[in-house]
């Protein structure tokens, strides 16, 4: 686990503005905030608004208001990915120049026929709007030690193949943007939901190719409903109530495996959070799904 005090610690919370903040996002926000505040470090906020078609109007502002109502204060200005295209382009240009990236003319249907995973180009004709992909040679295995999930290994060629950096419609892919931003913002520790565990090997590959340092990773348990379904697919994906933050904050604290007695008797988010920082025990966070 991370040392208790580390003023050089830089963490972040990076929601996508696809709707109101739900309980799973609150868990990621609170978890990443607690790690950063316990270390006496920084907690940055980055709106991952890369995908206008999936974005819900007003969602980003709503999420920021909700975080404020929950007392989760960030450091510095909010970063908006939509304004950072030049940084992503620069990284893509470097990956093209070093031979790590290539233009891909495959159509979706041709790829689907080839099993859906891109291992080599199956395009029959060039297209005017090729996607840009990161080349993953066969046998590319990545392993890392996650602070919560333990050792994680992936054969990236087998699991995902050559992955997209910029889509055929010109939109930037999450994998590239997140690596560029974590690098540019000097993030030392990524604390986020375990749904992104399988993305991490791709991000480690990109960091290597771009000469960026790898942050440490801690993937928080997924929240599931009573039947074990992922929260996003169940009724439990209800937005948290910014008008009544205490019940959701208490529930998030417990979902992180923390002792409810440590925050008992607190009557406002700032009071709860103050006690939470000193009582927080990272080692108590469960790896597995929580209900």
* Residue closer to ligand GLU, measured from CB, 196 or 262: 196
Helix (H) or strand (E) holding 175: helix 174-184
Q: Which of 108, 127, 233, 238 is catalytic?
A: 233
14: Cβ–Cβ under 8 A, 6 or more apart, which residues? 45, 46, 47, 48, 178, 181, 192
Backbone angles phi, psi at 152, to 5 degrees: -130, 130
**Which of 11, 15, 161, 282 contacts ligand GLU by CB under 6 A?**
15
Tokens matching residue 88:
């992503």
Other C-beta atoms closer than 10 Å to the C-beta of 252 total: 25
Stretch that binds ligand GLU, among 12-20, 33-41, 145-153, 279-287 (CB under 6 A): 12-20
42: Cβ–Cβ under 8 A, 6 or more apart, which residues? 9, 10, 11, 36, 75, 76
Q: Does 171 bind ligand GLU (CB under 6 A)?
A: no
Instruction: Decide if 230 is catalytic.
Output: no
- In the block, tokens 């990524």 appear at 190
Orientation angle between helical segments 269-279 and 23-39, nearest 10 degrees: 60
Q: b/e string for 11-46 if b means 16 or more Cβ within 10 A? A: bbbbbbbbbbbbbbbbbbbbbbbbbbbbbebbbbbb
* Residue closer to ligand GLU, measured from CB, 39 or 45: 45
Number of residues forming the site for ligand GLU (CB under 6 A): 7
**Which of 20, 24, 37, 48 contacts ligand GLU by CB under 6 A?**
48
Sign of the four-CA dihedral 207, 195, 240, 36: negative
Q: Does 16 bind ligand GLU (CB under 6 A)?
A: yes
> In the bound complex, what is the minimum distance in angstroms from residue 74's beta carbon to ligand GLU?
14
> In the bound complex, what is the minimum distance in angstroms from residue 192's beta carbon to ligand GLU?
4
**Which of 2, 9, 11, 14 contacts ligand GLU by CB under 6 A?**
14
Contact characters 192-231, ligand GLU, x per CB under 6 A: x---x-----------------------------------
Residue 12: CA atoms inside 13 Å, Cβ hemisphere, count?
Answer: 25
* Residue closer to ligand GLU, measured from CB, 105 or 192: 192
> In the bound complex, what is the minimum distance in angstroms from residue 180's beta carbon to ligand GLU?
12
Q: Does 51 bind ligand GLU (CB under 6 A)?
A: no
Q: Which residues are catalytic?
A: 233
Interacting residues with ligand GLU (CB under 6 A) = 14-16, 48, 178, 192, 196
């Amino acid at each position: 686990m991370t040392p208790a005090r580390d003023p050089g610690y830089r963490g972040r919370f990076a929601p996508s503005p696809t709707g109101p903040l739900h309980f799973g996002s609150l868990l990621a926000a609170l978890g990443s905030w607690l790690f950063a505040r316990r270390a006496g470090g920084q907690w940055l906020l980055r709106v991952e608004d890369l995908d206008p078609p999936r974005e819900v109007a007003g969602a980003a502002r709503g999420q920021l208001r909700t975080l404020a109502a929950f007392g989760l204060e960030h450091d510095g200005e909010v970063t908006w990915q939509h304004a950072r295209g030049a940084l992503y382009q620069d990284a893509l240009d470097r990956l093209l120049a070093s031979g790590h990236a290539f233009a891909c003319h495959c159509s979706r249907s041709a790829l689907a026929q080839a099993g859906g995973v891109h291992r080599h180009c199956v395009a029959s004709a060039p297209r005017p709007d090729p996607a840009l992909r990161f080349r993953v040679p066969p046998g590319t295995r990545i392993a890392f030690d996650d602070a919560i999930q333990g050792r994680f290994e992936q054969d990236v060629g087998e699991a995902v193949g050559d992955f997209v950096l910029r889509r055929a419609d010109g939109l930037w892919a999450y994998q590239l943007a997140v690596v560029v931003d974590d690098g540019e913002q000097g993030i030392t520790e990524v604390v986020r939901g375990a749904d992104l565990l399988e993305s991490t090997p791709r991000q480690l590959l990109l960091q290597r190719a771009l000469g960026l340092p790898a942050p440490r990773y801690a993937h928080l348990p997924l929240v599931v409903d009573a039947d074990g379904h992922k929260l996003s697919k169940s009724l439990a994906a209800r937005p948290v109530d910014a008008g009544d933050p205490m019940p959701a904050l208490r529930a998030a604290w417990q979902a992180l495996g923390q002792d409810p007695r440590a925050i008992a008797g607190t009557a406002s988010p700032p009071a709860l959070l103050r006690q939470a920082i000193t009582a927080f025990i990272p080692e108590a966070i469960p790896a597995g799904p929580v209900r």
